[in-house]
Amino acid sequence: MIGSDRAMLILLAVVAVLPPVLSALGEPFLTVILSRALIFATAALSLDLILGFGAMVSFGHAAYLGIGAYAAGILAANGLTGLEVQVPVALAAAGVFALVTGAISLRTSGVHFIMITLAFGQMAFFLMTSLSAYGGDDGQALAAPSTLFGIAVFDGAARFFYATLAVLALAWLGLRTITRSRFGRVLAGTREDPARMQAMGFSPFGYRLTAYVISGMVAALAGVLLANHAAYISPSYMSWARSGELIAMVALGGMGTLTGPVLGALAFVLAEEALAKLTTHWRLPFGAAVVLAVLFTRGGLMGALSRTRGRK
Amino acid sequence: MTPALSVQSLTKSFGALKVSDAITFDVAEGELHAIIGPNGAGKTTLIHQLSGSLAPDAGRIAMAGQDITRLSMPARARLGLARSFQITRILAGFTLLENVALAVQARSGSSFRFLRPVAREAALNDQAAEALVTVGLGQSARRIAGTLSHGEKRQLEIAIALAMRPKVLLLDEPLAGTGHAESARLSTLIAGLKGRLSIVLIEHDMEAVFALADRISVLVQGRVIATGTPPEIRANAGVRTAYLGEEEG
Ligand SMILES: Nc1ncnc2c1ncn2[C@@H]1O[C@H](COP(=O)(O)OP(=O)(O)OP(=O)(O)O)[C@@H](O)[C@H]1O
Ligand SMILES: [Mg+2]
């Protein structure tokens, strides 16, 4: 775990100095791409809480990205651009959606859980496409960038970049604390063996549902950022394919390590951008490469990293 | 005196197969009550019903007079019912200390605490370490549970159960598959627990059963055909033909 912490701190430090370096190299647009990668890193981090620590394979996690994005978009369209309003609304909406759908989904397990979370994700997707006042299928431009108590915190690529980096760092610290707490140990215990946990006196349901809600809320935070990054809100943020990509990021980086999914998301988004430049037929080989990487790197990128450093 | 555990007319069928046929017995406080019977007699199914992982079709289970028949497994555990599994169930990715500390945590206040690092809760670790020493795993506290030998996993399960400070302990073949030395150590350990808590012991090792048990119930095809002290069971003609005779050839 100490290895994982150090890797994360190094990663944050390296990423933090990149914008001026990229500007000096005449590639300022890479800062924008990097911001996008950091947003997905936050989303992947949130998914790791339930997928990696709780063994809950949610195939509807992109719904929370969408809920966050639409909370920001709908409020902005109605003249409420302040994050001090948008963030609480996004968190509340995601929290309620997670509480209701989680309470139902968590009655099932295995493939049934995957299918039911997928179904709820699609439900959220179709709900957004039906919002004709907010662009329907096509989505619509964000009326105005979000502000914080009137300050234009997202103004300019560099400011936005550091704001996303700060959110990622906070999400990491928060989830790191939770996973090491009493609650986190119980959650990980239910992943190891639910029957053993019940025999000890723990009812897994409440712990799992709580983790599910926290995870959805953190993803919604990433959604608020995503709407600002694209200056657009679209139902495509919550497609089932996007949920699959989030799972791939977590698996690629190493489940249950927190640092791994961040690495996985960065690798995923940057590789996607690079490949899209090379060829228009990049999706199939890229998908295949991700699947192979997940299958053949035991424990994902984080596992490979800790092995080269001689750690367990 | 109210028995620590009381089982009345417990009945359970899997389709046409009656695995528990009006099972009735009591376990007094501090008593070690062994359940013996041939393979497939329904011993594990009985433990599942006592611990709450399987619902009986009919009958009643009470702990210290309180009806627990409808309670969930976690609720029974919190009342002081601990169990081991015939196929050991441990948290394989956790260290031994973490496994046992979690059992202490289960009875030490709320687990909906999100901030303080649990690894630094001395109260949990100290009690966990003590339980590990009791079962002879004190030196291995930092090992990952999944790397233990079969016998060591059984010891760990008992440490987990003891850390729960149970009133009633259900052990499903704790000696099965353990080496000679481990088996002897576990027998000594179980003998040491006698009198301090009530134990239901399922075991095929007859030498151990007759040495450890205060009373024995013999289960054949889901029915208790006899209950008595070890000498009574040894002398019981019905038991000899139905079970012991087969075993001893
Ligand atoms: N879930 C189930 N569904 C159907 N039949 C079952 C189920 N569980 C157990 N059985 C059957 O019930 C009978 C009793 O099984 P049980 O495991 O309780 O026996 P046991 O006395 O513990 O045997 P052993 O000494 O081999 O452990 C067996 O015939 C078994 O095949
Ligand atoms: Mg059995």
pLDDT in tens, B160-216: 999 999 999 999 999 988 888 888 888 999 999 988 999 999 999 999 999 999 999
Question: Which residues, other chains included, contact B181 with Cβ-Cβ below 8 Å and sequence gap of 6+?
Answer: none
CATH at residue A259: 1.10.3470
Q: What is the Å distance from ligand 1's center to B79 Cα? A: 27
Q: Long-range CB contacts (< 8 A, 24+ apart) of B47-52?
A: B47/B83, B47/B86, B47/B170, B47/B172, B47/B200, B47/B202, B49/B10, B49/B12, B49/B20, B50/B5, B50/B7, B50/B81, B50/B83, B50/B170, B50/B200, B51/A199, B51/B76, B51/B81, B51/B83, B51/B170, B52/B76, B52/B81
Contact A115, A122 (CB under 8 A): no
A232 phi/psi in degrees, rounded to 5 = -155, 145
Residue B2 Cβ contacting ligand 1 at under 6 Å: no
Rounded CA separation A303/A263 (Å): 11
Q: What is the Å distance from ligand 2's center to B43 Cα? A: 5
B142 phi/psi in degrees, rounded to 5 = -90, 0
Instruction: Ligand 1, residue B54: give the atom nearest the CA.
Output: 1
Which residues of chain B have a CB within 8 Å of the CB of A201?
Answer: 74, 77-78, 106-107, 164
Mean pLDDT (whole number) for B80-88: 94
- pLDDT of the residue at B242: 74
**In the predicted model, is pLDDT for residue B5 greater than 90?**
yes
Question: Which residues, other chains included, contact A256 with Cβ-Cβ below 8 Å and sequence gap of 6+?
Answer: A48, A52, A53, A188, A191
Residue nearest to atom 17 of ligand 1 (CA): B44
- pLDDT of the residue at A239: 92
Enter the ipTM: 0.93
Residue B42 Cβ contacting ligand 1 at under 6 Å: yes
Amino acid at B12: K
Q: What is the Å distance from ligand 2's center to B39 Cα? A: 7
Question: Between β-strands B168-172 and B198-202, what pairing exists: parallel, antiparallel or unpaired?
Answer: parallel
Q: Does B1-80+166-249 carry CATH code 3.40.50.300? A: yes
Rounded CA separation B112/B84 (Å): 26
Residue B155 Cβ contacting ligand 1 at under 6 Å: no
End-to-end CA distance of chain A: 9
- CB spacing of B102 vs A200 below 8 angstroms: yes
Query: What's this model's pTM, rounded to 2 decimal places?
Result: 0.93
Distance in Å, alpha carbon of A211 to nearest chain B alpha carbon: 11
Which residues of chain B have a CB within 8 Å of the CB of A196?
Answer: 85, 89-91, 160
Which H or E run includes A304?
A: helix A300-308
Other Cβ atoms within 10 Å of B159 Cβ, number: 27
- pLDDT of the residue at B246: 52
Residue B110 Cβ contacting ligand 1 at under 6 Å: no
Q: What is the Å distance from ligand 2's center to B49 Cα? A: 13
Which residues of chain B have a CB within 8 Å of the CB of A178?
Answer: 114
Chain centroid, CA B196 distance in Å: 14
Which residues is B58 bridged to in the sheet?
B11
SS3 A267: helix
SS3 B74: helix
Instruction: Ligand 1, residue B37: give the atom nearest the CA.
Output: 21
SS3 B33: strand
Rounded CA separation B45/B170 (Å): 12
- pLDDT of the residue at A293: 75
Q: What is the Å distance from ligand 2's center to B230 Cα? A: 21
**In the predicted model, is pLDDT for residue B102 greater than 80?**
yes
Chain centroid, CA B157 distance in Å: 10
Residue nearest to atom 13 of ligand 1 (CA): B40
What is the number of structural domains in chain A? Answer: 1
- CB spacing of A199 vs B72 below 8 angstroms: no
SS3 B67: strand
* Domain ranges, residue A121: 2-311
Chain centroid, CA A72 distance in Å: 17
DSSP string, A207-229: HHHHHHHHHHHHHHHHHHHHHHH
Residue B43 Cβ contacting ligand 1 at under 6 Å: yes
Query: Closest partner residue to B116 among A181, A192, A207, by Cβ?
Result: A181
Q: Which tokens is B64 given?
A: 């210290």
Tens-digit pLDDT profile for chain A (312 aa)? 457 899 999 999 999 999 999 999 999 899 999 999 999 999 999 999 999 999 999 999 999 999 999 999 999 999 999 999 999 999 999 999 999 999 999 999 989 999 999 999 999 999 999 998 998 999 999 999 999 999 999 999 999 999 999 999 999 999 999 999 999 999 999 999 999 999 999 999 999 999 999 999 999 999 999 999 999 999 999 999 999 999 999 999 999 999 999 999 999 999 988 888 887 777 777 778 777 777 777 778 888 777 776 544
For residue A239, count CB atoms less than 10 angstroms from its CB and return exposed for 0-12, middle for 13-18, buried for 19 or more: middle
Q: What is the pLDDT of residues A72-121, one digit of tens each?
A: 999 999 999 999 999 999 999 999 999 999 999 999 998 999 999 999 99
Instruction: Ligand 1, residue B46: give the atom nearest the CA.
Output: 18
- CB spacing of A200 vs B118 below 8 angstroms: no
Q: Domain ranges in chain B? A: 1-80+166-249, 94-165
Relative to the alpha carbon of B36, which ligand is closest? 1
Query: Which of A28, A192, A135 has the alpha carbon at shortest distance from B88?
Result: A192
Letter string b/e over residues B64-90, b meaning 16 or more CB atoms within 10 A of that residue's CB: beeebbebebbebbbbbbbbbbbebbb
The nearest alpha carbon in chain A to B99 belongs to A189
Relative to the alpha carbon of B23, which ligand is closest? 1
For residue B45, count CB atoms less than 10 angstroms from its CB and return exposed for 0-12, middle for 13-18, buried for 19 or more: buried
Q: Which tokens is B18 given?
A: 């009656």
What confidence category does residue B248 fall into, taking pLDDT thresholds of 50, 70 and 90? very low
- pLDDT of the residue at A290: 78
Which residues is A186 bridged to in the sheet?
none
